[in-house]
Amino acid sequence: MTIYIVWRILYTLPHGSAISVLLGLSLLIAEIGSFVLSITFYFLFWKKNTKEDKELVELHPNYPTVDIFIATYNESSSILKRTIIASKKVRYPDLRKVEIYVLDDGDREEIALIAKELNVKYIRRDNNENAKAGNLNNALKETKGDLVVTLDADMVPRVDFLEKTVGYFEDSKMGFIQAPQTFFNNDPYQFNFFSEKNLNNDQDFFMRRIENQKDIYNSVMYIGSNAVFRRAALESIGGFSTGVITEDLATGMFIQAKGWKTRFVNKNLASGLAPENFSDLIKQRDRWSRGNIQVARKWLPLKIKGLNKVQKLLYMDGIHYWFSGIYKMIFMLAPLWFVLFGFYSLNARFSGILTFWLPSFIASQLAFNRVSQGTQSILLTNIYETVMAPFISYSVISDAVLKSKKGFTVTNKGYNTNKKYYNWRLSLPLLILLFFSIIALCKSIFVIFNILPFESGKDAIYINAFWLLYNVFILIFAVLVPFERPRFRKSERFLSSKEAQLLDKESHLIIDCKVMDWNELGAGITIECNNKIELKEEQKIILSVNGY
């Protein structure tokens, strides 16, 4: 890959028209930027994380007090209720030391009543200043637990959440523990591609692999939920960082800069809802990209005192990643400029591409496959990045160059619809790219078969025809993502095969049955019976599973 980049710099820059020179420099910068991201990526995975897990028993008998913060703004009561109930069922040696707080930034009476019904503390604010970070800081002032757990409203903790995280605080310098965000529903890629069993959630690679490697260098990124903080660590930096829309990135960075240790616990300890349609997916990634640019503008990691060189490198890499959307757009547009308008981005022979680019391409494929260990592929990564490229490019340019003032937006949860539709508005940039790429590919084929003349010769056409063929292949998948399938249920159902009983309201047996799937709103059951069962509409039925 290094040899290819050196060859590109020394021998392939176009000359002639000013437009070709400009386009050539743009393509070269995009390739160098992608190369830098790759080098950092492989550096991150050079060593294996061999740090040991810590158990809660190491704190016996001096278990710290724990405040669980459930931050909410506009999530539905059903989503919030299951998170509260799950939090109440979390195991801890002394549950008197655990307090659960619902932090309602929506100031909703309905949520206050739920908190009262479930016997948890409720904190509301008079304003929404500084969005989620302000909500968390407000709760810090009104609480006093030694440790603070942050949970998003949809993130349902497992019963062993505290058992698997609190033990690390036996080290007095431990600042925070981060567990991955996992998801119990299918994201738009999995759902709209009918590939729920074949594709991982597109966040899994970052959440389970990259965060785990950052743990080696005390560079774990706080991701806004599923984290446990030492209150003293938060107080040492003045609370959760404000002034940016990704308070999590900045908060974790400042805690590490203060000399606190951080750890990543690579266990599925809390699961929530991934974005449920393409529109919400774009909204979420727009917020993340803008937030990272805002952090770079306000607190450039290179200038943060207390961070070591590797920490600065990894935080800069995390910010630099969001520029890959611009790089991807340049890679898709470059062959169009040449084939359709005659402007060079690359001055190379086909033999040079085979000699220098092809080995680099194969090496990158093999290296990525080695690192990902089958959890992700370059093809899928390219599809995901292509889908996001037009939108992320716009977000980055808006914040980095135009300094947009767009504020914090909440990703919708609990989406459902009985309609199948295509999101034409959001898919338009991808459709335009696909249309012109097909036109350019057809023109390239006509030139190769001498149907159309072309001044620049066939050597350059061969290169661009292959390039366009690859782009068209990726774009065909990309334009299918905004094709939304119906999501009939507001809550995901979980498969089951448990034996159960249907009882009447007096708990008399009606018939035996088997539960096939369930959620907190309903269940699917099967009944084997030759006789007619008299069940009336609105009749109260009790479903008893294992005696409950």
**Pairing label, strands 483-484, 522-526:** unpaired
Query: With 60 as the cut, is the pLDDT of residue 408 above it?
Result: no
DSSP class per residue in 275-307: --SHHHHHHHHHHHHHHHHHHHHHS-GGG-TT-
Please state the domain extents for the chain.
Answer: 2-45+323-484, 61-274, 494-545
Query: With 70 as the cut, is the pLDDT of residue 134 above it?
Result: yes
More confident residue, 174 or 406: 174
- pLDDT one-digit tens code per residue, 56-104: 988 989 999 999 999 999 888 989 999 999 999 999 999 999 999 999 9
- pLDDT one-digit tens code per residue, 260-295: 999 999 999 999 999 888 999 999 999 999 999 999
- pLDDT one-digit tens code per residue, 469-502: 999 999 999 999 999 888 877 778 888 888 888 8
Residues 6+ apart with CB under 8 A from 334: 23, 27, 345, 346, 467
Give the full edge-to-edge strand order of the sheet including 98-104. 121-124, 98-104, 66-72, 147-152, 227-230, 174-178, 261-264
Q: Per the structure block, which two tokens stand in for 376?
A: 């992700």
- pLDDT one-digit tens code per residue, 214-267: 999 999 999 999 999 999 999 999 999 998 888 899 999 999 999 999 999 999
Q: How confident is the model at residue 416 (pLDDT cuts 50, 70, 90)?
A: low
Q: How confident is the model at residue 404 (pLDDT cuts 50, 70, 90)?
A: low
Distances (CA, A) of 26 to 231, 391, 392: 47, 19, 18
Query: With 90 as the cut, is the pLDDT of residue 111 above it?
Result: yes
Nearest to 233 by CA among 243, 245, 222: 222
Query: With 70 as the cut, is the pLDDT of residue 446 above it?
Result: yes
Nearest to 131 by CA among 243, 43, 249: 243
Query: With 80 as the cut, is the pLDDT of residue 117 above it?
Result: yes
Asked whether the whole model's pTM tops 0.85, one would answer yes
Domain at 61-274, CATH homologous superfamily: Spore Coat Polysaccharide Biosynthesis Protein SpsA; Chain A (3.90.550.10)
Average pLDDT, the chain: 91
